[in-house]
Amino acid sequence: MRPREVRDALAALIPTGRPIFLWDPPGCGKSSLVRQAAAALGLSVVDLRATLLDPVDLRGLPRLDGDSAVWLPPAFLPRAGAGVLFLDELAQAAPLVQAACLQLTLDRRVGEYELPAGWAVIAASNRAEDRAGTHRLISPLLNRFVHLDLHPAAEDWQARAAAAGIAPEVRAFLQYRPGLLFEFDPQANPRAFPTPRSWQFVSDVLARTPAELLHPVAAGCVGDGPAVEFVGFLKLYRDLPDLDRVLARPDAAPVPREPAVLYALVGALVERCRPAKAPLPSFVAYALRLPDEFALLALRDGLAVNPKLAGLPAVQQWIAKARRKGLFPAA
């Protein structure tokens, strides 16, 4: 399932109270999707990393009550209200930790602690085929979950990345090479490989890394091959025409025809939409002169960084026209 499909499925399943197990390859953002789904329902999230727990952590500590032992549950477990208890990295945890987590998930209690009725449980893990150090869960227990498989999708990532402030150079490159958003061969056992998470790393280090060190630093995030392509694309991105001149004369400024240049140009122009006093009419006037595919990218990402674009008549007219052509999703 695509990320937005998983997010919507989680939002539909959480109110049912059924335990959910979310599976994904490394670095694809399952925890952020759980938080998005919970936020859409107005729920908080308690995030427990199962790999960091010992079996006794969930049961708590004993104290004497007369001639009996009473177990004091840990403070990190919810006591009241409603929310989502997220047990991440469950299949990577030691078997005894899994047993305690699964008792909490399936019986909604462990020791003397009982999970409040308003709390839903979501477990998550990487898959066994990803060589992520997982332990197999027994079949009868697996049959108690609703299982969702997450697969990365470039279009979904772009929509989130624009709003989240991912570097425009990274977004533009992955518009040009969407297949490099995620590339992982577990048989090769690479140290660094491209995932949504590792491209976030590239975005974070980009502004502070000297040009002569960018290739090895980017390779340390996403691997050598993707880093070579990204650095080459970056040279193209940084040689774009003066954007101030483009926006000063949006009806007359030249429109490139080379796809790589167009991807780079769209990424740079979208960043000009962020400021409160951004030249939105000029941006729209130039974007609408681009080929349909690139006009769609520009307006979609522009709307993500500055929703005020939606109030411009030219944008409303273009969206209506694009929907008739099947280029823009229906509201």
CATH of the domain at 64: 3.40.50.300
**Position 26 confidence tier, pLDDT thresholds 50, 70, 90:** confident
Average pLDDT over residues 269-289: 90
Residue 62, SS3? strand
d(C-alpha 117, C-alpha 78), whole Å: 11
Contacts 24+ apart (CB under 8 A), 305-309: 305/162, 305/163, 305/270, 305/271, 305/273, 305/274, 306/273, 306/274, 306/278, 306/280, 308/280, 309/273, 309/280, 309/283, 309/284
Q: How many domains does the chain have?
A: 3
Same domain flag for 24 and 101: yes
Residue in the structure block whose two tokens are 């209506």: 320
Contacts of 277 (CB under 8 A, 6+ apart): none
Same domain flag for 82 and 136: yes
Same domain flag for 39 and 87: yes
Q: Give the model's pLDDT for residue 47.
A: 92
Provide, rounded to the nearest whole percent, the portion of the chain with pLDDT above 70: 95
Residue where a domain terminates, one of 149, 184, 199: 149
Average pLDDT over residues 92-108: 85
Residue-wise pLDDT tens digits, 109-151? 888 889 999 999 999 988 776 665 566 776 767 788 999 999 8
Q: Give the model's pLDDT for residue 242.
A: 86
Residue 223, token pair as written in the block: 């691997």
Residue where a domain terminates, one of 216, 239, 262: 239
**Position 196 confidence tier, pLDDT thresholds 50, 70, 90:** very high
Asked if residues 115 and 109 have their Cβ atoms less than 8 Å apart, the reply is yes
Angle in degrees, CA 112, 117, 118, rounded to 5: 130
**Position 12 confidence tier, pLDDT thresholds 50, 70, 90:** very high
Same domain flag for 161 and 281: no
Same domain flag for 184 and 274: no
Same domain flag for 89 and 170: no
Residue where a domain terminates, one of 85, 120, 149: 149
Q: Is 58 left (phi over 0), alpha (psi -120 to 50) or beta?
A: alpha
Same domain flag for 234 and 254: no
Same domain flag for 229 and 96: no
Q: Is 111 left (phi over 0), alpha (psi -120 to 50) or beta?
A: left
Same domain flag for 116 and 179: no
Its domain, for residue 246, covers: 242-331
- Residue with the larger pLDDT of the pair 142 and 43: 43
For strand 113-114 and strand 68-72, is the pairing parallel, antiparallel, or unpaired? unpaired
Same domain flag for 303 and 265: yes
Nearest CA to 197 among 4, 30, 7? Answer: 30
Same domain flag for 220 and 102: no
d(C-alpha 321, C-alpha 25), whole Å: 38
Q: What are the residues facing 124 on neighbouring strands?
A: 22
Residue 75, token pair as written in the block: 């403070």
Query: Does residue 85 surpass a pLDDT of 90?
Result: yes
* Confidence (pTM): 0.76
> Of the given ranges (21-30, 77-86, 132-141, 283-292), which has the lowest mean pLDDT?
132-141
Same domain flag for 174 and 279: no
